[in-house]
Amino acid sequence: MYDKLYVTKRLIFLFFCMLSSWLTPQWCIAQNALPTVLMEWMEETALQQEEKTINWEELLEELQYLQENPLNLNAANRNDLERLPFISAKLVENIQAYIYIKGEMKSLHELLLVEHMDRRTMDLLMPFVCVKPLKKDEENEWRDILRKGKSEILARVDIPFYTSKGYSTVYQGPSYYHSLRYNFHFKDKLYVGLTAEKDAGEPFGALHNRKGYDYYGVYALLQDVGRIRSLALGNYKLHFGQGLIVSNNFLSGKSLQLSSLPFEKQGIRRHASTDEYNYFSGIATSVELTKQILLSAFYSYRKLDGTLSGDTLVSINKTGLHRTKSEVNRKNNASMQVIGGNLSYKGSWFRAGATGIYYYLDRLYIPQLPKYAKYYQQGQRFYNIGFDYSIRVYGWALDGEIAKGTKGIALLNRLQYSLGSNYHFRAVHRLYTHDYWGFFANAFGESSSVQNENGWYLAADISPISNWRFFGSIDFFSFPWWRYRLSKPSQGIDFNLLAEYTPYRDLTIRTTYRLKKKERDMTGTGGNIILPYQHHRLRAQLNYNVNKSLALRTTVDYNNFYIVKSSSDKGWQLTQRAAYSFSNFPLQCEVQLSYFNTTNYDARIYIPERGLLYSFYTPSFAGSGWRYSAWARYDFEKRVMLILKYGETNYNDRDEIGSGNDHIASHRKGDIQIQLRVKF
């Protein structure tokens, strides 16, 4: 297959070279990619939450928009600043207090004068904010909406240079992935858009997709007009409280940084991503009853994929894949209606809110469950109600939520104390009963669901010496009921240490250590023998900005997965990354080369690498081999952007990759991704 597609790869490469030669240096310099410090924060977050699936798409889209349209700190209100995912609610208050007392900022460097602001958080903020004098009249001229509004079309295609078994047996469509997105926005007031996607293996314009794509999503969002804080039509997302009742948000969870822990944005947002499950569809609105009281209400009706047994729904499929006949037969087999609301009060130092939500399925949902899933959600009607609060006094911040479901309860409280900008401490307690049900609950925890978990999390982030930062955390957690591969109640520990040295701004040396202790069934014993295991991870990383154009990163990982009285598996990897931005030419490039060697899957290695716009890629690897990728972005007059990325994995210890429908009769696996954005 590589020989057949060799010409295709060469033609794509030639096309990009020709495009580069046509564009001359007098055009605008490329918009910088997301800053390195932010990419590091994302990598740390992804590596800390290996049991959770993180959808980066909408977070990255928001950050990209803010990078191209920075917030004016002198004009931004609290809601504007809370759009930034790495800034705490306390810092939001401190920035506003500084401007209120001192007057308009004249330079971004004044941020260092804001109480509790540290250098790392300032580096995160700099690309997304600016300072400009206030204008006397900043009213929206709605009559000029078409003239002042901006549109964006984003197209993506992924082409694999291999053929897996499924395409010669059961998959009904071609192997390429394709998505198309259109978005219109008028300032920060109005967003309207369409999202369309075809996954690899799904037909396009044929069979069950005669209308083209497999998935279509439409949304409209109006914000901050009179008393209307937000009004959403079509697809939207929700987040209230701490996420114990409902949250489609990105959550950082366990992080290696406390100085700028993200503030979970409350309320209603548009759903513009290609995620085919984690959203609502219908109407939602938030209205200010007074300056302190906000009332939100929402209604949703949407179809769900699921497996039927007679008229009973026995499973809900969340992947959105419709490649095979069996996957197509699960499409839209059930519908879900959702209605609910939130009433919240926001004062200067105290917040409180009450949330209620009711779900109705048109079919009885009785999943065919193994014993460890005995208490998973089942029925036809479900509800959740809860109360959340937030108190901020001086350097203290206390947040929490308590929720009651159709069955069970959930409780989450977190306390944080900041002493200046160099000392931060945090404690989190959660109690999720084994029978708590929340369809779209998403909150802090060890596992991916808000159920069957108790725990205490303690963390400290300190900078006692100039140029040094230390972080330490320990999470004591327990599971009152069985879990997958664990046939008894259990407990565990998650321990993290970080030491970071920055002798000057262009050089950072970081070392992290993580120990996770848990238990699991011994294979082949049917749960009669349960053994504890320890997973040690050590990472060393060096970041060096040679100059304004060239940045280098070297990363070394070591893993040791030890099952007591059974086995010990090891793995390691070495990665070198180089990124270059041309100073007088709108082109950015990045290459990355990794060698990995692990004894089995338990000792697998995670290697983050740069993805396309609005995406972030953290694959895992087991066995022995090489992984390399090349990424390039070209911007033309800030209106047209083209990204090409090629990645390939070569294994040294096998002649074939994967199993079942994913089986590839080769020791290497490569693909190219192409993304084009046009603004007008």
Taking only the tens place, the pLDDT of each residue in 103-123 is: 888 888 888 888 878 777 787
Distance (Å, whole) CA 458 – CA 380: 39
In this structure, is residue 123 part of a structural domain? yes
Domains identified in the chain, total number:
1
pLDDT tens sequence across 118-168: 777 787 788 888 888 876 544 546 677 877 888 999 999 999 999 999 998
Category of 267 on φ-ψ map: left (φ > 0), alpha (ψ -120 to 50) or beta: left
> Collapsing DSSP states into helix, strand and coil, what is residue 646?
strand
Pick from 36-45, 217-226, 243-252 the range whose average pLDDT is largest: 217-226
The predicted pLDDT at position 678 comes to: 94
The predicted pLDDT at position 119 comes to: 75
pLDDT tens sequence across 604-637: 999 988 888 888 778 899 999 999 999 999 998 8
pLDDT tens sequence across 216-238: 999 999 998 889 999 999 999 99
Provide the token pair at 206.
């044929």
User: How many residues does the structure list for the chain?
Assistant: 680
> Collapsing DSSP states into helix, strand and coil, what is residue 124?
helix
pLDDT tens sequence across 388-434: 999 988 888 899 999 999 999 999 999 999 887 788 899 999 999 99
> Collapsing DSSP states into helix, strand and coil, what is residue 145?
helix
Residues 6+ apart with CB under 8 A from 574: 554, 555, 556, 594, 595
In this structure, is residue 281 part of a structural domain? no
- Which one-letter amino acid corresponds to residue 242? Q
In this structure, is residue 617 part of a structural domain? no
The predicted pLDDT at position 19 comes to: 41
In this structure, is residue 119 part of a structural domain? yes
Distance (Å, whole) CA 431 – CA 456: 9
Distance (Å, whole) CA 552 – CA 353: 46
The predicted pLDDT at position 34 comes to: 62
Give the pLDDT mean for 12-32: 38
Is residue 589 packed enough to be buried (19+ CB in 10 Å), middle (13-18) or exposed (0-12)?
middle
The predicted pLDDT at position 10 comes to: 42
- Which one-letter amino acid corresponds to residue 173? G
Cβ neighbours, 10 Å, residue 199: 21
DSSP of 23-34, one letter per residue?
S-TTSPPPPPPS
73 with 244: CB under 8 angstroms? no
- Parallel, antiparallel or unpaired: strands 71-72 and 129-130: parallel
- Among 84, 116, 86, 80, residue whose Cα is nearest residue 98: 116
Provide the token pair at 53.
């699936």
Percent of the chain residues topping a pLDDT of 70: 90
Provide the token pair at 397.
């911040």
499 with 460: CB under 8 angstroms? no
Pick from 370-374, 434-438, 505-509 the range whose average pLDDT is largest: 434-438
Domain that residue 117 falls in: 71-130
334 with 317: CB under 8 angstroms? no
DSSP-derived letter for residue 219 is E
Cβ neighbours, 10 Å, residue 610: 21
pLDDT tens sequence across 482-540: 998 888 999 999 999 999 999 988 899 999 999 999 998 887 777 788 889 999 999 99
Give the pLDDT mean for 319-332: 94
The predicted pLDDT at position 370 comes to: 85
The predicted pLDDT at position 425 comes to: 93
541 with 554: CB under 8 angstroms? yes
- Among 236, 219, 313, residue whose Cα is nearest residue 278: 236
Residues 6+ apart with CB under 8 A from 363: 306, 308, 311, 312, 313, 333, 334, 380
In this structure, is residue 43 part of a structural domain? no
Residue 668 in this model has a pLDDT that exceeds 70: yes
Cβ neighbours, 10 Å, residue 481: 19
Provide the token pair at 547.
């100059």
Percent of the chain residues topping a pLDDT of 90: 59
| Residue carrying structure tokens 């029925």 | 379
495 with 522: CB under 8 angstroms? no
Residue 281 in this model has a pLDDT that exceeds 90: yes
In this structure, is residue 118 part of a structural domain? yes
> HSE on the CB side for 317, CA within 13 Å?
17
Provide the token pair at 437.
């049900």
Give the pLDDT mean for 655-667: 93
> HSE on the CB side for 299, CA within 13 Å?
1
In this structure, is residue 114 part of a structural domain? yes
What are the Cα distances from residue 366, in Å, to 8, 196, 309, 375? 49, 32, 10, 11
CATH classification at residue 112? 1.10.150
Distance (Å, whole) CA 594 – CA 600: 18
Provide the token pair at 352.
């409180």
In this structure, is residue 102 part of a structural domain? yes
Distance (Å, whole) CA 346 – CA 296: 14
